[in-house]
Chain A
Amino acid sequence: MNKFIQHTGIVAPLDRANVDTDMIIPKQFLKSIKRSGFGVYLFDEIRYLDEGVADQDCTNRPLNKDFVLNQARYQQSSVLLARTNFGCGSSREHAPWALEDYGFRTVIAPSFADIFYNNCFKNGILPVVLNEEIVDQLFTECAAQEGYELCVDLEQQQVVTPSGERFDFEVEEFRKHCLLNGLDDIDLTLQNVDDISAFEAKHKQQSPWLFGAIKG
């Protein structure tokens, strides 16, 4: 997994609440058995004017010029600014895969849906929760200044604006540690093999019906 320590990049403002995972990456692209290549289909239904098809070459598809990511000033954006309940809906990890593949390293919003929030950390993307007033301010500043950039500093747990204003954000210690170091969860968990085996032995004694019933 990619490390995330500090990132500065152009901000793309996605000004709508309850952006769901079907909107982030529509279902037809979930048929892929790979983890990569989802970036060109990110926000497919609002980004293009035609209907997207899995495995399609998107180079010549008609663009929805009104959509934020199609506007020249946001071309190199890597910080997504969003509204409440971002990422609601399904558990598809294809949503963070698509954001990451497109080039987003961090998403800032007043709130996130739980599963999406969790999935981001598994893919080197930092979801940052700031309160609604601050997010409003960032939307306003972003609209006013072309090339508006934010610096998201995980070590300091701060978002820094171009004028030097700093906003603190919360992040769980364990998640921060994994992201700062790009750690693989499975390796970490397997350091506890003895604990897992001991728990399992006890669990089997207490609930023997949970073992051996389902056989391939």
Chain B
Amino acid sequence: MAARTLYDKLFEAHTVRQTEDGSALLYIDLQLLHEVTSPQAFEGLRIAGRKPWRLDANLATPDHNVPTTERSGGVDEIVDPVSRIQVKTLDENCDDYGILEFKMNDHRQGIVHVVGPEQGATLPGTTVVCGDSHTATHGAFGALAHGIGTSEVEHVLATQCLITRKMKNMLIKVEGELGLGVTAKDLVLHIIGVLGTAGGTGHAIEFGGSTMSQISMEGRMTICNMAIEAGARVGMVAVDQITLDYVEGRPFAPKGDMWQQAVDAWSDLHSDDGAHFDTVVEINAADVLPQVTWGTSPEMVVAVNQLVPNPNNESDPVKKDGINRALSYMGLSADQAITDIALDRIFIGSCTNSRIEDMREAAKVAKGRKVAANVKEAIVVPGSGLVKAQAEAEGLDKIFEEAGFQWREPGCSMCLAMNPDKLAPKEHCASTSNRNFEGRQGNGGRTHLVSPAMAAAAAVSGTFVDVRQLMEA
């Protein structure tokens, strides 16, 4: 058999049928559901008199709209009536159809992309979809995972399949060691800066090379999560011992003899030697420094020790216009030092960076320091109830609270501000989330994407600072 990429293998193993024009019916092993992109899908199902094809291939949890402040009063006490209806609708739909849902105050509730892996629902070799573009996260497990629209959510509920077509293969090969204070988040921001926001369009990206094989599952999830910010619906990493160690023993993962059988089946989940990639991009890990986005697209990113770009250095008129527009929206001037940007708010959380390792990295920087006086609010939002419990068992909540951070309940929170956590116009936020689009974190809000360690460093300094200076101190 010809050498195949990991993506080729996953795609072929799930192809139910393929038509001559290249469109394929792909079998879906797991669909994750949340309250924002599912109500119209359930309504469509109901109107057509259809039933879900397989209940045990679905897992639901509300995440986008849930408050992250005290919420023991339950769904009925969500203040925003529109949010409340949406969360209730998910509860009702899951109850009606018999789909497993971790409801808002269940200790297993959290952001879908944190919950799926944490529960062992996301497994190597599977196809995973969700009505959310950050579904690529699950590709960290050697799975084929991507975001879909609501019509497709309904389609997968009704047929267990997705109509799709094969994408192109891209390999991003990262070699060498990441420096002190440089994290998976910095690496992926750097990669997006190199590729551009549309560089991966039409491709499934595999992240490989010696650096990737050293990175933890949390870090791999952070990297795959942001594949979409480079335009690629799919990000993936090959399965290795790190993957198996993470998955083993999780609630929905195979047990006993079945575990061994699964491990054997997963041994092929890597690209073969000599497999063909349409595009290969090489990245030297040693070139990556702590990153900060300055503009309104994730590709508008520089290292913390650099300057905000000058539009006069850009010859392409459309790009130049984009830089000018971004500078004006962000309230920054050309050639301004990144370390001169003062912060109003700090957000540590989101499906990109709210796992236990992220909490630990931020806490390490926050420990024994205080949130700067000019920072109005610094919030830490764990990705799930289980991450929260683990962090509390390690005393991280106390470290954050002593430093002046707020320790919150799990949810998507200020990543997209569908709940009450949002920026006021013109406020600058150091955020560990994934998008710095205009208005994303609140109308007129100014988002700077960074790693958890860099966000904590910005919180205690009041401006951006190279986190390595705090680590050496």
Contacts and interface: CB of A to CB of B under 8 A. Distances in A.
Contact of A209 (B16, B82, B149, B254): B254
Contact of B98 (A17, A175, A216): A216
A70 interface: no
A206 B265 contact: yes
B13 to A, nearest CB: 8
Interface in A3-25: 16-18, 20, 22-23
B85 A91 contact: no
A148 B2 CA distance: 53
A151 interface: no
A212 B56 CA distance: 6
B16 A195 contact: yes
B94 A114 contact: no
Contact of B58 (A122, A174, A214): A214
Given A30-B418, A32-B82, A18 B197 contact: yes
A113 interface: yes
Interface in A111-149: 111, 113-115, 118-119, 122-123
B37 to A, nearest CB: 7
A85 B437 CA distance: 14
Interface string A182-216: 00011011101001100110010011111111111
A111 to B, nearest CB: 6
B56 A207 contact: no
A45 B438 contact: yes
Interface centre among A16, A89, A123, A192 (most CB of B within 10 A): A89
B22 interface: yes
A20 B295 CA distance: 14
Interface in B289-303: 297
Given A33-B43, A83-B318, A89 B56 contact: no
B37 A92 contact: yes
Contact of A213 (B36, B56, B319, B417): B56
B14 to A, nearest CB: 8
A119 B149 contact: yes
B27 A51 contact: no
Contact of B59 (A27, A115, A212, A214): A214
Given A18-B297, A85-B231, A113-B201, A211 B56 contact: yes
B322 A18 contact: yes
Interface in A151-202: 172-175, 185-186, 188-190, 192, 195-196, 199-200
Contact of A214 (B97, B121, B262, B444): B121
A107 interface: no
A61 interface: no
Given A33-B89, A88-B197, A91-B149, A192 B25 contact: yes
Contacts of B101: 216
A196 B56 contact: no
B56 A214 contact: yes
B50 interface: yes
Contact of B148 (A31, A113, A115): A115
Contacts of B438: 22-23, 45
A216 B97 CA distance: 9
B56 A215 contact: yes
A114 B200 CA distance: 10
A65 interface: no
A119 B132 CA distance: 13
Contacts of B30: 214
Interface residues of B, number: 90
Contacts of A213: 56, 121, 252, 254
Contacts of A123: 151
Interface string B310-323: 00000000110110
A210 B133 CA distance: 23
B65 interface: yes
A209 B247 CA distance: 13
A28 interface: yes
A23 B439 contact: yes
B23 A90 contact: no
Given A192-B16, A216-B55, A216-B98, A91 B23 contact: no
Contacts of B135: 91
B393 interface: no
B159 A210 contact: no
A190 B133 CA distance: 26
A186 B50 contact: yes
Contact of B318 (A26, A84, A185): A84
A168 B431 CA distance: 44
B160 A196 contact: yes
A29 to B, nearest CB: 9
Contacts of B125: 207
Interface of B: 16-17, 19, 21-23, 25, 27, 29-30, 36-37, 39-40, 43, 48, 50, 53, 55-59, 64-65, 80, 82-83, 85-86, 89, 94, 97-101, 121, 123, 125-126, 131-133, 135, 147-152, 154-155, 158-161, 163, 165, 197-198, 201-202, 228, 231-233, 252-254, 258, 261-262, 265, 297, 318-319, 321-322, 325, 416-418, 435, 437-440, 443-444
Interface of A: 16-18, 20, 22-23, 26-28, 30-35, 45, 51, 54-55, 83-85, 88-93, 96, 111, 113-115, 118-119, 122-123, 172-175, 185-186, 188-190, 192, 195-196, 199-200, 203, 206-216
Closest 9 CB pairs of A and B: A209-B254, A122-B151, A33-B39, A93-B149, A91-B147, A119-B149, A173-B21, A31-B82, A85-B198
22 contacts: A22-B438, A31-B36, A84-B318, A88-B197, A89-B133, A89-B435, A90-B435, A114-B233, A122-B149, A174-B163, A186-B48, A186-B155, A186-B158, A195-B16, A195-B17, A207-B125, A207-B265, A210-B123, A213-B252, A214-B30, A214-B58, A216-B55
Given A88-B197, A91-B135, A210-B123, 8 more contacts: A17-B319, A18-B197, A27-B416, A114-B232, A185-B155, A186-B155, A207-B125, A209-B262
